[in-house]
């Protein structure tokens, strides 16, 4: 089974990769939709991923109260600096949540169906795997978005 340190290594790589892409694109390009059907902006995608981590790890695993507007995450825009700082804070809390997690324990709450998570009952370990799933898939997506934006500019 994967260790907590290994989980944090790979989840951190994906989150840091996305944060680096947004920072590297800067305010203008990070808030630009690439020329791909249905694409979000890199800024919005990172905002969504931070919402995923905060809700699934913070609320469902650690038991914190987390207010989340999933739909608004995809409309988010703004300067890159505060988003990068938020990503650092979220990453730090993820480390704490994973280190304190009891993987076999039941979730602290039931995720809303509208959040489009896995369609079966999860324990805390599985919720953390869902966090990794989201971070990994969106990191790859953001690499393509970055390449498309840079090729166009």
Could you list the pLDDT tens digit for every one of the 153 residues in the chain?
Answer: 799 999 999 999 999 999 999 999 999 999 999 998 999 999 999 999 999 999 999 999 999 999 999 999 999 999 999 999 999 999 999 999 999 999 999 999 988 877 767 778 889 999 999 999 999 999 999 999 999 999 987
Task: Quote the tokens at residue 111.
Answer: 């995720």
Backbone angles phi, psi at 44, to 5 degrees: -65, -40
pLDDT for 9: 98
Query: Based on the structure, what is the number of domains in the chain?
Result: 1
Identify the sign of the CA torsion 106, 112, 117, 119. positive
pLDDT for 112: 81
pLDDT for 129: 96
The CATH number given to whatever domain includes residue 92 is 1.20.120.450
Residue 102, exposed/middle/buried by CB under 10 A (0-12, 13-18, 19+)?
A: exposed
Q: Which residues contact 22 (CB under 8 A, 6 or more apart)?
A: 30, 42, 43, 46, 80, 83, 84, 142
Residues 80-103 pLDDT 10s: 999 999 999 999 999 999 999 999
Range of the domain at 13: 4-152
Residue 123, exposed/middle/buried by CB under 10 A (0-12, 13-18, 19+)?
A: middle
Task: Quote the tokens at residue 79.
Answer: 């300067």
């Amino acid at each position: 089974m994967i260790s907590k340190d290994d989980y944090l290594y790979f989840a951190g790589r994906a989150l840091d990769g996305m944060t680096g892409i947004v920072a590297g694109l800067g305010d203008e390009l990070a808030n630009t939709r690439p020329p791909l059907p249905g694409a979000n902006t890199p800024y919005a995608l990172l905002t969504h991923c931070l919402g995923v981590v905060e809700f699934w790890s913070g609320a469902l695993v650690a038991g914190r109260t987390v207010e989340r507007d999933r739909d608004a995450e995809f409309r988010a825009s703004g300067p890159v600096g505060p988003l990068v700082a938020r990503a650092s804070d979220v990453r730090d809390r993820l480390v704490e949540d994973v280190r304190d997690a009891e993987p076999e324990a039941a979730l602290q709450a039931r995720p809303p169906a509208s959040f489009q998570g896995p369609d079966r009952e999860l324990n805390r370990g599985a919720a953390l795997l869902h966090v990794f799933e989201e971070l990994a898939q969106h990191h790859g997506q953001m690499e393509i978005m970055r390449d498309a934006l840079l090729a166009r500019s």
